[in-house]
Homo-oligomer: A and B are copies of this chain.
Amino acid sequence: MKDMLGREDALTAEDARGLLLGSAVFHLPQEIELEIGHSLGRILSRDIISPEDLPAFPRSTVDGFAVTSSDTFGATESMPAYLNVTHEILMGDEPSFDLRKGECAKIATGGMLPQGADAVVMFEYCQPAAEKIIEVLKPVAPGENVIQAGEDCKKGDVVLKKGHRIRPQDIGALAGLGIIKIRVYEKPKVAIISTGDEVVPPSSPLKTGQIRDINSYNLAGLIELNGGMAIKKGIFQDNYDVLKKIIEESLRQSDIIIISGGSSVGTKDITAKLINDIGKPGVLFHGVSIKPGKPMIGAIVNGKPVFGLPGHPAAVTVCFELFIAPVLKILTGEKQGLSRKVKRTIRARLSRNISSGSGRQEYIRVLLEERDGELWAIPILGKSGLITTLVKADGTIVIPLYKTGLTQGTEVEVELF
Binding site for B on A (CB under 8 A): 5, 36-37, 40, 54-57, 59, 61, 63, 90-95, 108-112, 123-124, 147, 151-153, 159-160, 167-180, 196-200, 202-203, 206-222, 224-225, 238, 261, 264-266, 310-313, 317, 337-339, 342, 344-346, 368-370, 375, 383-388, 390-391, 394-395, 416-417
> How many copies of the polypeptide does the oligomer hold?
2
* Given the contacts A108-B264, A169-B391, A339-B346, A56 and B208 also touching, CB distance less than 8 Å: yes
Q: How far is the CB of A280 from chain B (nearest CB, A)?
A: 29
Q: How far is the CA of A398 from the CA of B66 in the complex (A)?
A: 32
Which of B5, B173, B208, B261 contacts A391, CB < 8 Å?
B173
Instruction: Write out the residue numbers on chain B whose beta carbons fall within 8 Å of the beta carbon of A214.
Output: 172-173, 175-176
Which of B54, B57, B123, B212 contacts A208, CB < 8 Å?
B57
Q: How far is the CA of A109 from the CA of B222 in the complex (A)?
A: 24
Q: How far is the CA of A313 from the CA of B177 in the complex (A)?
A: 14
Extra A-B contacts (6), CB below 8 Å, given A94-B207, A177-B212, A337-B394: A37-B217, A93-B209, A110-B211, A152-B385, A167-B221, A173-B387
Q: Are A203's CB and B180's CB within 8 A?
A: yes
Q: How far is the CA of A364 from the CA of B95 in the complex (A)?
A: 34
Q: Are B108's CB and A266's CB within 8 A?
A: yes
Q: Are A266's CB and B375's CB within 8 A?
A: no
Which of B208, B212, B221, B317 contacts A94, CB < 8 Å?
B208
Q: Are B90's CB and A152's CB within 8 A?
A: no
Q: How far is the CA of A206 from the CA of B179 in the complex (A)?
A: 13
Q: How far is the CA of A57 from the CA of B265 in the complex (A)?
A: 22
Question: Closest residue to A179 on the B side, CB-wise?
Answer: B202
* Given the contacts A94-B208, A197-B91, A339 and B390 also touching, CB distance less than 8 Å: no
